[in-house]
Amino acid sequence: MNEQNQLLELVLGQASPLAGLLPGFKPRAAQLELARAVGEALSANGGLVAQVGTGTGKTLGYLIPALLSGQKTVISTGSKTLQDQINDKELPLLQSALAPHLRWAVLKGRSNYLCTRKLEKFLRAPGLNLPGSMAGLLQEFWRTSPDGDLDPLLAKLTPEIVEEITSNSEQCQGSRCLKREQCFLLEARRKAAEADMVVVNHHLFLADLALRAANHGQLLPRWQAAIFDEAHMLPEIATQAFGVQVSMQRINTLLKDIGKEAARPGLLLDALGTARKASDKLFAKLNRLLGPTSGQGLSPEHLAKLAPLMEALESTLLILIDILEQEPEQSLGERLGLLLVDLQTLPNPLSGRSVAWARTRGSSPALLLSPVEVASHLQQTLYAQQGSLVFTSATLAPVDDLHPYLERMGLDPETTTLSLPSPFDLASQTCLYVPRHLPDPNQEQFTLRLADELRKLLMLSGGRAFVLFTSHRNLEQVAKELEKELPFTLLVQGRAGKLALLKQFVEKTPAVLLATASFWQGVDIPGPSLSAVIVDKLPFAPPDDPLVAARCALMEENGGSGFAHILLPEAILALKQGLGRLIRGPDDKGLLAVLDGRIWRKSYGKRFLKALAPLPITDKLEDVEQFFASHG
């Protein structure tokens, strides 16, 4: 261990070989402390949970000890931004400075790669009417792409075309595919198997765990160590991975694939039509019961009303399975079988362990069954494996107590923890503005008063702001008000893709971006393009969210408080993640504005202020004006 620490001090110290390759490199005590802790966890085949403030040099702080350990390591991130940063910046840097023979691979989910089999079928489809030279573009990409990753092409493709030329987990034929020798996904997996480090995202990592648990294969190669960056996102993503979902889109896609790929589609026409009608009736009934909602729990009464329609759909699927037994392509019948099992599982939530709910907003309504807590699933799938595990993020706990995170993740309470503050001088780099004069967010006049307050703040910041909303309703109403007279480029989530909006935000500085939850984290815009993050209200989860409600109920059954132990800490973390968008470097300056006076009026406000310390707080616009004036 002493030898390893000496190596870390050499690599991260004054005489570091990184200094000549990394502009502005200088030793950081916190980075070295993190690297030592990660190195010890890897050497001991143990675990580490580390909360590491922005600016510590976290990424190199775990990559270097992983490299020195010699273990095959999976690096899992919560965002594409960080995945690209590790692949394009950090790992090439380490290869140049320390390990010329370092091999790494980036592995994504199936739907990120062009599927040769589906592309050929798509281009041969009768009556294909692609716009312009799209067919030539796709063929040229297939011939020249080194890895088949559609990322550089996505801006030119419609979602419908992407669906036609990629395979999801059910459509992929794996070893039975006649085009497997030309499969980009299999080639990516081969490279990952040979690599020293594999960079993935949390969705893929957890999907791999769920597949292995169900004995349905695997997505990742065997590994000796796994490091999870942006680990605060893991519980939510694990809830998705270990749940069941039956959506209208999943059913329609499967029925369409059967119609296209079956050897004798004529025999299936009537059965396919009957199944489509049964699916349409089920989801139409669901929409009538719940209305357009992003998520609502399904009560026993709801499930009883849906039961006859679910049973009718099951009957049509059984008929299709019988017909498909005569087909040479057995994967279609297997997919139907998996759908049937999920459909039969949905109406049977286990009290305190799973919750049935529905999502009806958008073009593909869905029925879902999700675990209330993911701890037991992770214990059975992840921790049962032999291997070192490191969990790290800038926001794992409201302050420094990491044990609630250990508990939610099902980690041993004796797991080593580490909490390192940000080296940035937040007291001088930031200003926290919380007005007292606005009405509470649940009052009718709040949105109009909010728009007026935003105009004043945006004029003081000179645009250059993210305005983050806790609801789409507030975003849409405020956008209508601000469009009337705001003298800056106004970008609104939903009017373009996320990457396009971020690109425009930088190119059209000073701009203002109005957005919701997906922009609270995983966005990196250092420098003066972003000088204000403004939040419409404290980001409490909706109390009627079925998963949140179930977790709160379970907490209270066990003697805790759903508000104090779940809603409040998670709202504080969400607010800190919003702050994390603002200060990305030692020279960044910026305003964090929370337009929710409950911080002043409610007792829980003190916990928000404690978590945001040492930010200087004011309720006066004149102080905000002075802050921007003093920082140019």
Q: How many angstroms separate the CA atoms of 224 and 45, rounded?
A: 9
Give mean pLDDT, residues 181-185. Answer: 91
Whether residue 60 is predicted with pLDDT greater than 90 in this model: the reply is: yes
Average pLDDT of 270-282?
94
The secondary structure of 204-232 as a DSSP string is HHHHHHHHHHTTS--SS---SEEEESSGG
Which pLDDT value is given to residue 133? 79
Q: Please report, for residues 253, 281, 285, the alpha-carbon distance to residue 309 in angstroms, rounded to integers and kept in the order given.
A: 20, 7, 8
pLDDT of residue 30: 93
Closest CA to 357 of 269, 289, 410, 408: 289
Single pTM value for the model: 0.92
Cβ pair 366, 358 in contact under 8 A: yes
Is the per-residue pLDDT at 266 higher than 80? Answer: no
DSSP letter at 90? I
pLDDT at site 526: 67
Q: What is the distance, to the nearest Å, from the Cα of residue 388 to the centroid of all Cα atoms in its chain? A: 23
Q: Which residues contact 79 (CB under 8 A, 6 or more apart)?
A: 201, 230, 521, 522
**pLDDT of 553:** 92
Helix (H, G, I), strand (E, B) or coil at 291: coil
Q: Measured on CA atoms in the order 133, 135, 139, 144, is the torsion positive or negative?
A: positive
Whole-angstrom Cα Rg for the chain: 26
pLDDT digits (tens, 9 = 90+) for 97-116: 999 999 999 999 888 999 99
Handedness of CA 269, 271, 276, 277 (dihedral sign): positive
- At 1, the pLDDT band (50, 70, 90 cuts) reads low
pLDDT digits (tens, 9 = 90+) for 530-561: 899 999 999 998 878 899 999 999 999 999 99
| Most distant pair of Cα atoms in the chain: their distance | 77
List, in order, residues 6 or more apart from 106 with CB less than 8 Å away: 83, 87, 188, 198, 199, 200
Alpha carbons 611 and 572: distance in angstroms, whole number: 7
pLDDT-derived band at 453 (thresholds 50, 70, 90) equals very high
Alpha-carbon distance 259 to 241, whole Å?
29
CB half-sphere exposure, 616, CA atoms < 13 A: 13
Cross-strand bridge partners of residue 618: 433
The pairing of strands 366-371 and 244-247 is: antiparallel
**The dihedral sign for the CA sequence 86, 90, 96, 102:** negative
Region 293-305: mean pLDDT is 90
The DSSP bridge partners found for residue 75 are 199, 227
Packing angle, helices 269-290 and 248-261, rounded to 10:
170
The whole-number pLDDT of residue 169 equals 78
Amino acid 273: pLDDT: 92
User: How far is 250 from 253, CA to CA, in rounded Å?
Assistant: 5
Mean pLDDT of the chain: 89
Contact (CB, 8 A) for 37 and 15: no
Name the percent of the chain lying above pLDDT 70: 97
- 513 bridge partner residues: 466, 491
**Nearest Cα to Cα of residue 237 among 277, 205, 274:** 205
Cβ atoms within 10 A of the Cβ of 145, count? 15
What pLDDT does 423 receive? 87
Q: pLDDT (tens digit, 9 = 90+) per residue, 212-258?
A: 888 877 899 999 999 999 999 999 999 999 999 999 999 999 998 88
pLDDT at 375: 96
Q: How far is CA 385 from CA 48, 225, 378, 389, in A?
A: 16, 10, 10, 10
pLDDT at 392: 97
Q: How many CB atoms lie within 10 A of CB 510?
A: 18
Whether the pLDDT of residue 129 is over 80: the answer is: no
Q: Which of 58-62, 126-130, 172-176, 416-420 has the lowest mean pLDDT?
A: 126-130
Report yes or no: 51 and 392 within 8 Å, Cβ to Cβ. Answer: yes
* pLDDT reported for residue 522: 65
Residues 6 or more apart whose CB falls under 8 angstroms from that of 100 comprise none
Predicted local confidence at residue 292, as pLDDT: 82
Give CA–CA dist 615/592, Å, rounded: 9
Neighbouring residues of 134: CB distance < 8 A, sequence distance ≥ 6: 156, 161
For residues 50 and 38, give the distance between their C-alpha atoms in angstroms, rounded to a whole number: 9
CA 208 from chain center: how many Å?
16
The rounded percent of the chain whose pLDDT value lies above 90 is 58
Q: How confident is the model at residue 176 (pLDDT cuts 50, 70, 90)?
A: confident
Name the least confident of 72-76, 387-391, 468-472: 468-472
The phi, psi pair for 457, rounded to 5°, reads -65, -40
Residues 6+ apart with CB under 8 A from 393: 51, 52, 229, 230, 231, 232, 233
Of residues 521 and 84, more confidently modeled:
84
Which pLDDT value is given to residue 560?
A: 93
- Cite the beta strand spans of 485-599 per DSSP E: 489-492, 511-515, 532-535, 590-594
Transcribe 3-17 into DSSP letters.
HHHHHHHHHHSTT-T
pLDDT of 418 > 70? The answer is yes
Is the predicted pLDDT of residue 597 greater than 80, yes or no?
Answer: yes
On whether the CB atoms of residues 534 and 475 are closer than 8 A, the answer is no
Q: What single-letter DSSP state applies at residue 541?
A: P
Report the pLDDT value the prediction gives residue 127, as an integer from 0 to 100. Answer: 64
CB 68 within 8 A of CB 17: no
Which residue is listed with tokens 């493709």? 157
Number of residues assigned to the chain: 632
Contact status, residue 459 vs residue 479, Cβ threshold 8 Å: no
Model pLDDT, residue 262: 73
Q: Which residues pair with 594 in a beta bridge?
A: 535
pLDDT, one tens digit per residue, over 27-38 is 899 999 999 999
Question: For 593, phi and psi rounded to 5 degrees?
Answer: -115, 130
> How far does the chain reach from its first CA to its final CA, in angstroms?
49
The 10 Å Cβ neighbour count of residue 153 is 16
d(C-alpha 189, C-alpha 200), whole Å: 11
Q: Mean per-residue pLDDT for 132-152? A: 88
* Count of Cβ atoms closer than 10 Å to residue 567 Cβ: 20
